[in-house]
């Protein structure tokens, strides 16, 4: 391992594309083979059981399936009975089918969250995969890998500097090497080189920079290139995104868990969101911080050793990853074929197929990321994720994968297919009602015996959607330390109410956006891969009007149809009004001033707002504020 003095002497400007000349910014190569895998019938099947699989995990999955079925039947009972009285016509049968397709995943996600709530309430989130309260110094070598592609280099390396400082304070710097893996263009590379040169002047771990001249297979290819060139020198790699922050204590606990469990190939943390400034980002930050652990704990409870990889803030066993997770190239043209876009879930499934356990944990704090600052930025990112998740449907039938991994492919796709199904259900429900004359007695639908057939089922579905949020809030309210961190009990109640109201208002906008993303995929339009916007303060009205045109057109379409049944206006108001107001909603939520106004009133405030918001050690040339990740094990009260 290169000493600190040797690293200092190697600090010279790096000419772009000339790695040989700048060998001081790279370690000696340690090649590791990473063959492309096959999804054909000749591939070796996944082992049925892993050493770290929870005892009786099949009973958990059976309980999940049974409870999901029971809830789905309950939700669908009201519209079924109401339609069955007069006999089903074609439109009613289609509407009920679509409703069932929506109710089933909603019920499943509710049951999963309820399981997570029970796990956290009992303080048993470490029963399946424990983490040391006081981890020892590592005996292994770990690479801290941050792929970059035209990102804010100063902010990214500042986060690495903060992590390095945390590891240095723990006295374990020699066990970790930092790698900045660039796929950026020439202009962004200049900024990266300057920021990296400043980083090397301050870090205690060895730090290296490598820039590819060809962005083959994007992020997956970037990491695979590192594995093939340098992976042989490391036991583990901790993959970070440009906006990732981790506490040193969290990293040590992850490393020790990998050392203590030699058949674990991957541990995925559940990151919280930090650094939110705009109102839109604050909504996401509060939602993940308040409710995210319930969802993560539930997911970990029933997926066990067949869990997921989300592509960042996770630790992987390098040799297992190299041997099992070389991505195949799918036949056909993009977006259906070619390189796998959402690579992380597939890489995790391939690890499990190769006999390595893959775990998600909700037991660790100190793992953070950031979120797109505006509605438009979020939609742009979601379009790429939609394409990747729909592409996974081609892999569902692969005989070699574990059934739980195949189920996860389906659930990922349903997360996006739910939007066109929701829009279709609304349209069918309205079409059914248009066959009947206006009935002003049904204007107050919730008090009228001739309730709209889908309404009761929709109300039950709405409860299933907000149920996990109420569970997360309940956990915080019953734990004094967490309750105080969120500003007290009354602040929690106000903030949860505000978040649910704002999320309900934004939901129809996402419905239309995701429906368009699915339509683009089906039409063969590639979403591409653009650098994410991580900092913004306000959208221009013109940009918002252009981007929100589909939402407004759908809203106007509903208004036109409701002109024939104005008595249904109140029923459809929660959908139609946000669509008509899409432009001002996009603009207002994009502003930092709006986010600050909520914070001043104690709304959407999280514990991270009270922590230091600057990097532990600000590096020359990297003057970007980054929320510091702190903590390790989340204290159970």
SS (H, E, C) 392-425: HHHHCCCCCCCHHHHHHHHHHHHHHHHHHHHHHH
Q: Output 429 or 232, whichever has higher pLDDT.
A: 232
Q: Which two tokens stand for residue 363?
A: 């037991």
Q: Any idea which residue has 């100190």 for tokens?
A: 366
Q: What would the mean pLDDT of 401-408 be, rounded to a whole number?
A: 95
Q: Any idea which residue has 């003095």 for tokens?
A: 5
Q: What would the mean pLDDT of 49-76 be, rounded to a whole number?
A: 93
Q: Is 371 left (phi over 0), alpha (psi -120 to 50) or beta?
A: beta
> What is the band of 532 on the pLDDT scale with cuts at 50, 70, 90?
low
Instruction: State what percent of residues in the chain have pLDDT above 70.
Output: 87
> What is the band of 75 on the pLDDT scale with cuts at 50, 70, 90?
confident
What residues contact 436, with CB distance under 8 A and at least 6 apart?
565
pLDDT of residue 451: 47
Q: What would the mean pLDDT of 58-79 be, rounded to a whole number?
A: 92
pLDDT of residue 21: 40
Cα–Cα distance for residue pair 273/369, rounded to 1 Å: 5
Q: Are 360 and 627 in contact (CB under 8 A)?
A: no
pLDDT of residue 436: 82
pLDDT at 36 over 80: yes
What residues contact 364, with CB distance under 8 A and at least 6 apart?
131, 250, 253, 254, 269, 270, 632, 633, 634
Q: Which of 190-194, 399-403, 525-529 has the lowest mean pLDDT?
A: 525-529
Order across the sheet with 367-369: list the strands.
Answer: 245-246, 367-369, 272-273
Cα–Cα distance for residue pair 429/95, rounded to 1 Å: 7
Q: Any idea which residue has 């900092």 for tokens?
A: 535
pLDDT of residue 628: 41
pLDDT at 636 over 80: no
pLDDT of residue 97: 92
Q: Are 309 and 344 in contact (CB under 8 A)?
A: yes
pLDDT at 441 over 90: no
pLDDT of residue 458: 67
Give how far the C-alpha of residue 399 lies from the chain's centroid of Cα atoms, to the nearest Å: 27
> How do strand 245-246 and strand 357-360 relate by DSSP bridges?
unpaired
Q: What would the mean pLDDT of 106-124 be, rounded to a whole number?
A: 96
State pLDDT tens for residues 348-394.
999 999 999 999 999 999 999 999 999 999 999 999 999 999 999 99
Cβ burial 220-235 (10 Å sphere, 16+ → b, else e): bbbbbbbbbbbbebbb
For residue 627, give the 3-state DSSP assignment.
coil
State pLDDT tens for residues 166-201.
999 999 999 999 999 999 999 899 999 999 999 999
Q: What would the mean pLDDT of 531-540 be, rounded to a whole number?
A: 72
pLDDT of residue 314: 98
3-state DSSP of 72-119: HHHHHHHHHHHHHCCCCCHHHHHHHHHHHHHHHHHHHHHHHHHHHHHH
What residues contact 76, with CB distance under 8 A and at least 6 apart?
96, 99, 100, 103, 457
Instruction: State what percent of residues in the chain have pLDDT above 90.
Output: 73
Kindly report whether the peptide bond that precedes residue 335 is cis, defined as omega within 30 degrees of 0.
yes
pLDDT at 404 over 50: yes
pLDDT at 5 over 70: no
Q: Output 326 or 3, whichever has higher pLDDT.
A: 326
Q: Output 455 or 11, whichever has higher pLDDT.
A: 455
Global pTM? Answer: 0.90
Torsion of the alpha carbons at 343, 347, 348 and 351, rounded to the nearest 10: 180
> What is the band of 17 on the pLDDT scale with cuts at 50, 70, 90?
very low
Largest interatomic CA distance in the chain = 85
Give how far the C-alpha of residue 285 lies from the chain's centroid of Cα atoms, to the nearest Å: 12
State pLDDT tens for residues 294-311.
999 999 999 999 999 999
> What is the band of 534 on the pLDDT scale with cuts at 50, 70, 90?
low
> What is the band of 403 on the pLDDT scale with cuts at 50, 70, 90?
very high
pLDDT of residue 322: 98
pLDDT of residue 82: 73
3-state DSSP of 281-350: HHHHHHHHHHHHHHHHHHHHHHHCCECCCCCCCEEEEHHHHHHHCECCCECCCCCCCECCCCHHHHHHHH
> What is the band of 2 on the pLDDT scale with cuts at 50, 70, 90?
very low
- On average, the pLDDT of the chain sits at 88
3-state DSSP of 347-394: HHHHHHHCCCEEEECCCECCEEECCCCCHHHHHHHHHHHHHHHHHHHH
Tell me the angle at which helices 343-353 and 403-434 cross, rounded to the nearest 10 degrees. Answer: 140
Q: What would the mean pLDDT of 309-317 be, rounded to a whole number?
A: 97
Cβ burial 326-339 (10 Å sphere, 16+ → b, else e): bbbebeeebbbeeb
Top-ranked range on mean pLDDT: pick from 24-38, 39-53, 107-121: 107-121
Q: Are 367 and 629 in contact (CB under 8 A)?
A: yes
pLDDT of residue 617: 36
Cα–Cα distance for residue pair 364/250, rounded to 1 Å: 7
> What is the band of 629 on the pLDDT scale with cuts at 50, 70, 90?
very low
Q: Which domains does the chain have, with CATH numbers?
A: 4-26+129-277+297-375 (3.90.550.10), 63-125+410-439+451-605 (no CATH)
Cα–Cα distance for residue pair 238/175, rounded to 1 Å: 12
State pLDDT tens for residues 254-288.
999 999 999 999 999 999 999 999 999 999 999 99
Q: Output 460 or 117, whichever has higher pLDDT.
A: 117
pLDDT of residue 457: 60
pLDDT of residue 443: 54
Q: Which of 4-18, 105-119, 508-522, 528-542 has the lowest mean pLDDT?
A: 4-18
> What is the band of 79 on the pLDDT scale with cuts at 50, 70, 90?
confident
């Amino acid at each position: 391992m290169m000493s600190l003095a040797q690293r200092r002497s190697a600090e010279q400007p790096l000419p772009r594309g000339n790695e040989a000349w700048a060998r001081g910014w790279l370690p000696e190569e340690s090649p590791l083979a990473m063959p492309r895998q096959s999804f054909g019938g000749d591939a070796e099947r996944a082992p049925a059981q892993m050493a770290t699989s929870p005892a009786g995990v099949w009973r958990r999955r059976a309980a999940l399936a049974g409870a999901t079925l029971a809830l789905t039947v309950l939700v669908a009972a009201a519209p079924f009975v109401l339609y069955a009285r007069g006999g089903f016509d074609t439109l009613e049968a289609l509407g009920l089918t679509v409703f069932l397709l929506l109710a089933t995943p909603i019920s499943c996600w509710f049951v999963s969250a309820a399981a997570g709530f029970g796990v956290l309430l009992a303080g048993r989130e470490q029963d399946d995969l424990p983490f040391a309260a006081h981890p020892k110094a590592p005996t292994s070598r770990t690479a801290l890998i941050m792929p970059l592609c035209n990102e804010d280099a100063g902010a990214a390396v500042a986060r690495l500097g903060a992590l390095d400082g945390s590891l240095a304070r723990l006295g374990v710097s020699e066990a970790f090497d930092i790698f900045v893996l660039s796929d950026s263009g020439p202009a962004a590379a200049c900024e990266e080189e300057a920021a990296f040169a400043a980083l090397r002047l301050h870090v205690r771990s060895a730090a290296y920079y490598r820039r590819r001249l060809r962005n083959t297979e994007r992020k997956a290819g970037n990491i695979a290139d590192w594995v093939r060139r340098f992976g042989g020198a490391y036991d583990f790699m901790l993959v970070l995104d440009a906006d990732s922050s981790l506490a040193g204590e969290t990293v040590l606990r992850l490393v020790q868990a990998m050392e203590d469990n030699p058949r674990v190939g991957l541990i995925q943390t559940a990151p919280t969101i930090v650094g939110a400034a705009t109102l839109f980002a604050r909504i996401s930050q509060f939602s993940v911080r308040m409710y995210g652990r319930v969802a993560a704990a539930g997911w970990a409870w029933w997926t066990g050793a067949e869990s997921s990889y989300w592509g960042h803030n996770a630790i992987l066993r390098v040799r297992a990853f190299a041997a099992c997770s070389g991505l195949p190239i799918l036949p056909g043209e993009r977006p259906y074929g070619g390189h796998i876009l959402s690579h992380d879930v597939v890489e995790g499934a391939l690890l499990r197929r190769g006999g390595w356990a893959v775990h998600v944990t909700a037991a660790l704090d100190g793992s953070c990321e950031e979120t797109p600052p505006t509605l438009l930025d979020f939609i742009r990112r979601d379009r790429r994720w939609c394409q990747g998740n729909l592409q996974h449907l081609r892999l569902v039938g692969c005989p070699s994968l574990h059934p739980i991994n195949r189920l996860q492919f389906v659930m990922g796709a349903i997360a996006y297919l739910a939007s066109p199904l929701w829009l279709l259900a609304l349209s069918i429900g309205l079409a059914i009602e248009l066959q009947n004359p206006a009935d002003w007695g049904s204007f107050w639908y919730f008090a009228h015996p001739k309730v709209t057939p889908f309404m009761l089922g929709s109300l039950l579905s709405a409860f299933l959607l907000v149920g996990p949020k109420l569970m997360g809030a309940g956990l915080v309210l019953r734990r004094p330390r967490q309750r105080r961190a969120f500003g007290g009990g009354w602040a929690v109640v106000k903030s949860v109410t505000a978040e649910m109201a704002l999320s309900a208002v934004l939901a129809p906008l996402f419905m239309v956006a995701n429906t368009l993303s699915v339509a683009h995929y089906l039409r063969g339009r590639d979403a591409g891969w653009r650098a994410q916007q991580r900092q913004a303060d306000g959208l221009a009205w013109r940009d918002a009007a252009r981007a929100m045109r589909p939402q407004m057109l759908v809203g106007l379409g509903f208004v036109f149809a409701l002109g024939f049944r104005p008595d249904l206006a109140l029923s459809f108001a929660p959908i139609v009004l946000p669509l008509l107001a899409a432009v001002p909603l996009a603009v207002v939520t994009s502003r930092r001033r709006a986010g600050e106004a909520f914070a001043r009133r104690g709304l959407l405030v999280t514990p991270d707002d009270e922590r230091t918001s600057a990097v532990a050690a600000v590096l020359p040339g990297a003057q970007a504020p980054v929320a510091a990740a702190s903590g390790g094990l989340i204290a159970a009260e």
